[in-house]
Amino acid sequence: MSVSTASYVVWGAIGALVVLLWWLSYVRPSAVAHPADVVGKVATHPLGRVVLVVGFMWLGWHLFAR
């Protein structure tokens, strides 16, 4: 397996893990929080909500403008 393929496999595994947690948040909500609840938790934290919004603004600028 090439280095490039291995890198993409890890990215794919991370993506699959996100999908798995998303699914678990529906079938076992007491064990895994729903993504919206995670966002709500951060968005209602005094410092977390600032980091969340500024980080999200930066992400958009980085992905689409620069």
Partner 1 sequence: MRAGPAALLVGGSAYSLIAAATTPFTLPADVLTGVAIVGLAVLVIVCWPLHPRPARPARPAPGAHPYVPWLVVLVVFVAWELFDYLVHGSRADHPTFSSITEANDRFYILKALLFLGWMAAALVIVRQGSRRKARRG
Interface positions with partner 1 (CB under 8 A): 2-4, 7-8, 10-11, 14, 17-18, 21, 24-25, 29-41, 43-46, 49, 52-53, 56-57, 59-66
Spatial distance between the Cα atoms of 17 and 9, rounded to a whole number of angstroms: 12
Q: Encoding tokens for residue 10?
A: 């890890």
Nearest distance from residue 22's CB to partner 1, in Å? 10
What's the first-to-final CA gap in the chain, in angstroms? 33
* Residues in CB range of 22: below 8 A, 6 or more apart: 35
Nearest distance from residue 33's CB to partner 1, in Å? 4
Nearest distance from residue 6's CB to partner 1, in Å? 9
